[in-house]
Amino acid sequence: MTYLTRKVDINLGYGCNAKCPFCYYYDSVVTSENLNTLSTEQAKQQLQQAKRIGIEEVEFTGGEVSLRKDFAELVTYAKSDLGFKVVSMVTNGIVLASFDYLKTLAAAGLDDILFSVHGHRADIHDALTVTKGSFSRIMQAIDHAIALGLRVRTNTVVCKTNHHYLGDIFELLIAKRVNNINLIAFNPIIQARNKEVIADLYLSYPEAGQSMMSAIEQHRTHLPHLNIRYLPPCFVPGYEQYVTNLDQMNFDPDEWNNYASFRLRKGRWLAWAAALVGIAVLPFKRYALRYGLRGLFMAGMGRFYIFKDKVKSAKCRQCAYENVCDYLWKGYYDIYGDDAIQPIAGQKIANPAWCMNAAHIRTPGQLPTVSRPSEPAVSQPRLIDA
């Protein structure tokens, strides 16, 4: 049985102490705009609303949330006052290199941290964060989090600078005994308008896919749970079980309910309107309705983003994954086109969580016991009925 995620993100603002050129909010970070998009009270109101609509987990995002003086207060409010079952944060780890500060967050109720690790060495990671010393500090922060018994996940944006080193990054993270690893294919997406800055980071999907598959093969027996995001499955043939894109995210308990997150930020009526647009073009309505209206609206919101931001190639119509893929980002298509697409033969798949690992890592609202044995656990994909 697969379950729908019960998690939302609370975006506290765009202020950051790093300047990663591939950041969605690069313009706001560099110009120091919108440092505190939400006041403390506004953040608490969003948390209250999330609780009212049945959300069980929250992930604080930015910008860099650890820069806020009220962050520990918000963690306490979410965990102790409102009773969210899991409280997470996304961070570059710079501030969390302070053990005392991280200990304060753990005591406040923080359960889980998603760290952004973009290289296995300081020269690579620091170049991508444009922040000297950021690698040393995030490594310290990960060590502190593990010492405090927190669940640790990582994001790595796969780009021209680091794709040849994914095996080395895996080796580092396996040695740290992190719980989850996410590989995010770099995309020249709409939010990052700094085209002159990111041009050197462009990486074609075939290049990204080949580097990902090689790294997985190198470390498959010792990898923790792994996700590949924002890469069509046809670029990682034989490794599709690791792909977690927009349609699949609804079934990943570590990902957000995009419908609920949109509703918190934009309001009920705009969320309904956007979801209805997506439902109109949703290719797996019957499957989504197995989960009732909530499942239908969540699937519709994912398809709204696909309709708005993606390009479906004519070649996709020949692929077994046509109905469960989110295709090519418009920015990517403008640069590379669709020449490299190689449709996968076979019967059309109607289950968006067809074989993904993420649907089985845990039940929404329940974190697995953090276990880091002397020998890293073997990650074994489990198939889900199509």
| pLDDT tens-digit series, residues 126-167 | 999 989 999 999 999 999 999 999 999 999 999 999 999 999
| Same domain flag for 318 and 199 | no
How far apart (Å, rounded) are the C-alpha atoms in residues 72 and 65?
Answer: 10
Residue 103 is assigned to a structural domain of this protein: yes
Residue 356 counted as domain residue: no
pLDDT of residue 21: 72
* Count of domains forming the chain: 2
Contact assessment for residue 262 and residue 287, using Cβ atoms and an 8 Å cutoff: no
Q: Domain for residue 372, yes or no?
A: no
Q: Quick one: average pLDDT of 208-216? A: 98
Greater confidence (20 vs 347) lies with 347
Asked whether residue 124 falls in the same domain as residue 202, the answer is yes
Give the per-residue pLDDT at 359: 63
- What is the pTM for the complete model shown? 0.91
Cβ count within 10 A of residue 180 = 21
Asked if 112 and 39 sit in the same domain, the reply is yes
**Residue 3 pLDDT more than 50?**
yes
Angle at Cα 143 formed by Cα 137 and Cα 146, nearest 5°? 140
Q: What is the mean pLDDT of residues 222-251?
A: 94
Cα-based angle 148, 138, 94 (whole degrees, multiple of 5): 100
CATH number at residue 92: 3.20.20.70
Residue 30 sits in the same domain as residue 177: yes
Give the DSSP H or E segment for 87. Answer: strand 86-91
Q: Which of 177, 103, 91, 163 is nearest to 129 (CA)?
A: 91
Do residues 282 and 154 both lie within one domain? no
Range of the domain at 322: 267-336
Looking at residues 40-51, what average pLDDT do you find? 97
- For residue 317, the model assigns a pLDDT of 95
Both 73 and 152 in one domain: the answer is yes
Q: Which of 291, 317, 336 is the last residue of a domain?
A: 336
Same domain, 177 and 287: no
- The bridge status of strand 328-329 relative to strand 310-311 is antiparallel
45 and 147 fall within a common domain? yes
pLDDT at 18 over 90: no
Instruction: Look at residue 101 and tell me if it is in a domain.
Output: yes
The answer to whether residue 84 is domain-embedded is: yes
User: In this structure, are 314 and 172 located in the same domain?
Assistant: no
Phi, psi of 226 (to 5 degrees): -130, 135
Residue 384: per-residue pLDDT: 35
Closest CA to 182 of 160, 204, 153: 153
Tokens of 68: 């806020």
- Asked if the model's pLDDT at residue 326 lies above 80, the reply is yes
Of 89, 90, 88, 172, nearest in space to 125 by CA: 172
11 lies in some domain: yes
Residue 204 clears pLDDT 50, i.e. is over it:
yes
Cα separation, 86 vs 110, whole angstroms? 8
Residue 168 backbone zone (phi > 0: left; psi -120 to 50: alpha; other: beta): alpha
Tell me, what amino acid is at 335? I
pLDDT band per the 50, 70, 90 thresholds, residue 34: low
> Does residue 338 sit in helix, strand or coil?
coil
Dist CA 45 CA 368 (whole Å)? 29
Task: Examine the domain organization and report whether 17 and 106 are in the same domain.
Answer: yes
**Overall average pLDDT of the 172-178 stretch:** 97
Mean pLDDT score, 363-367: 86
pLDDT of residue 181: 96
Specify if 259 maps to a domain: no
The residues pairing with 229 across neighbouring beta strands, listed in sequence order, are 184
Q: Which residues contact 40 (CB under 8 A, 6 or more apart)?
A: 70, 73, 74
Tell me what the mean pLDDT of segment 331-336 comes to: 89
Considering the domain architecture, whether residues 116 and 196 belong to the same structural domain is answered as: yes
pLDDT tens figures, 61-90 = 988 999 999 999 999 999 999 999 999 999
What is each CA distance from 124 to 140, 156, 177, in whole angstroms? Answer: 17, 12, 21
Q: Is the pLDDT of residue 375 over 70?
A: no
The answer, yes or no, to whether residue 378 has pLDDT greater than 50, is no
Same domain, 181 and 272: no
**Average model confidence (pLDDT) across the chain:** 89
Would you say 337 and 313 are in contact if contact means Cβ atoms under 8 Å apart? no
